[in-house]
Chains A and B, each alone.
Chain A
Amino acid sequence: AQSVSQHNHHVILSEAASLELGCNYSYGGTVNLFWYVQYPGQHLQLLLKYFSGDPLVKGIKGFEAEFIKSKFSFNLRKPSVQWSDTAEYFCAVIAKNSGTYKYIFGTGTRLKVLA
C-alpha cells in the first residue's frame, strides 16, 4: 500500500540551527509531492510543492526541499530556523492510479524552536 513516512515525530532546535525533516514515500508511479505546515492556532498551509522540473524546490519563509527519485525522498530543509518556525510539518504525496487520485499525508513532525 502507498504510504508516506516522516521518521522524526518531534524535533527541538535552537534558533539559527539548521533543519532537515525527512520524508519518504512508497509508490512506484508518478507522484506529486507537497510540504504543508500548521502553525499554532492556524490552518494547514502550503510550504512548497514539486511535480516536475528542478528537483530542488524553494518555498515560503526560506524553506526548500529536494526530490530524490532514487531514494523516494522529499526532505525539507532550512539553513537557519527561527522561533516562528515552531509548527507541525506534514509531507504529502498525491498520485494518480487507474484514473483515481490517491492523497496520502505523513503523520507529521512537530518542530519546536527554542529562542
Chain B
Amino acid sequence: NAGVTQTPKFRVLKTGQSMTLLCAQDMNHEYMYWYRQDPGMGLRLIHYSVGEGTTAKGEVPDGYNVSRLKKQNFLLGLESAAPSQTSVYFCASSPSLSGRPSTDTQYFGPGTRLTVL
C-alpha cells in the first residue's frame, strides 16, 4: 500500500514550457486535491476532485488545469509555466466515509518541487 505518490519529485522548467504532475493513490479514495506551498503562505488549494470525471476550482486555480480520468489518478497541468508557479506542489486524497468530505482526513503525497526559470 503506497498511499499517495507524486511524479516527478523535482523539476526545473523554463518560462513558457508545459508539464504535467501526476498524483496516484491506491486507497480507493473518492476525493483528491492539489495544493501549492509557498514560504509564508501555507498550503493553498489549486483544484480538487470529488470523483472520477469531476473537478472543481480551489483558491488559486489560474494557470493550472486538472483532469481525473481514472479514480486513482489526478493530473495537474501547467500549460505555460511562469516564475510565479515556482513552488512545492502537494497532492492529497481523502475517503468519503461519512458522505461529508469536510470531516475526512486528507492523506498527503511527498510533494513535487518545481522551479520555473
A, B co-complexed = yes
Contact A94 B102 (CB under 8 A): yes
Query: Across the interface, do A95 and B44 meet the contact criterion of CB distance under 8 Å?
Result: no
Identify whether the interface residues of A are mostly helix, strand, loop, or mixed.
strand
B89 at the A/B interface (Cβ < 8 Å)? no
Given A43-B110, A44-B90, CB of A103 within 8 Å of CB of B45: yes
Q: Mark B76-100, 1 if CB is under 8 A from A, else 0.
A: 0000000000000010100000000
**Binary interface profile of A, 70-105, with partner B (CB < 8 Å = 1, else 0)?**
000000000000000000001010111000111111
Q: How many residues of A contact B (CB 8 A)?
A: 25
Binding site for B on A (CB under 8 A): 4, 6, 32, 34, 36, 43-46, 49, 51, 90, 92, 94-96, 100-108
- Chain B residues proximal to chain A, CB less than 8 Å: 3-4, 33, 35, 40-45, 48, 56, 58-59, 90, 92, 101-103, 105-111
